[in-house]
Amino acid sequence: MTRTPLVAGNWKMNGRLDMVGALGASLSGLRNSRAEVAVCPPFPYLAPLVRALGDSGVQIGAQNVSRHQDGAFTGEVSAEMLADLGCRYVIVGHSERRALYGEDDELVGEKFLRAQQGGLIPILCVGETLREREAGETEQVVVRQVSSVLDVAGIGAFDQAVVAYEPVWAIGTGETATPEQAQEVHARLRAALAAEDASVASRIRLLYGGSVKSDNAALLFAQPDIDGGLIGGASLSADEFSAICLAAE
């Protein structure tokens, strides 16, 4: 099964308007890339980025979405609004939202469903903490995180979804999982999905995230079950992010 690689940049709560222009100019050079490229800026920069990227083919994603649709939910942003702006993707279940904002498996499942109902493709993040890895619980944790969404959404929903494996200990630390460590978890995740539907499992893109840089991306992306990356810090530099995108081709 040939899967089109996806490289998604997650700016987190970084960036200013001037980055939108710089990135727009730099990424237009990826117009004919074999990999799909997406950028997930903070909410205020979504619309300007949509305009800056124009017909470059670079996709836009949001970093969060409400579990609600419309109504009296002050401060929330719905999937429909994001789709309306031109977003294709939305990150759900990022470990920072799980750890800092109390998002549990149940809420992540709700957001995953809501994203799809509103016309977006969720990028579902899973990953173990250092304590869980050292306790030998990595596979158990990531399979639980995926299974909790499978329980509410069903395997069919994963045909319009992406899963990102992001070991918490590798996020923003400069300590990347080795290609072998990442591949092992990705293979386990694909096997868990294959137990439900082999064909969906063979099609779904599994991204790796956690201190991916231009100098380690190619080896990670060369692993058979790694179909691209979710890039944090390195996505803030247009040159660095472009180099990572090229490594996914």
Ligand X SMILES: O=C[C@H](O)COP(=O)(O)O
> Residue positions in the annotated binding site for substrate?
10-12, 172, 211, 232-233
Query: Which residues between 156 and 185 bind ligand X (CB under 6 A)?
Result: 166, 171-172
Residue in 94, 103, 128, 240 annotated catalytic: 94
Contacts 24+ apart (CB under 8 A), 48-53: 48/17, 48/20, 49/20, 49/23, 49/24, 50/85, 50/86, 50/87, 52/20, 52/21, 52/23, 52/24, 52/25, 53/24, 53/27, 53/28
Query: Which residues between 196 and 215 bind ligand X (CB under 6 A)?
Result: 209-212
Count interface residues toward ligand X (CB under 6 A).
14
| Cβ atoms 61, 87 nearer than 8 A | yes
- By beta-carbon proximity to ligand X, the closer residue of 136 and 174 is 174
**Active site annotation includes 80:** no
231 binds ligand X per the rule CB under 6 A: yes
15 binds ligand X per the rule CB under 6 A: no
State which of residues 5, 93, 109, 232 lies at the interface with ligand X (CB under 6 A): 232
Please state, in angstroms and rounded to a whole number, the distance separating the CA atoms of residues 112 and 109.
Answer: 5
The strand pair at 36-40 and 162-165 is best described as unpaired
**Active site annotation includes 166:** yes
Sign of CA dihedral 64, 36, 217, 21: negative
- By beta-carbon proximity to ligand X, the closer residue of 43 and 73 is 43
For ligand X, the binding residues (CB under 6 A) are 10, 94, 166, 171-172, 209-212, 230-234
Q: Which residues are catalytic?
A: 94, 166
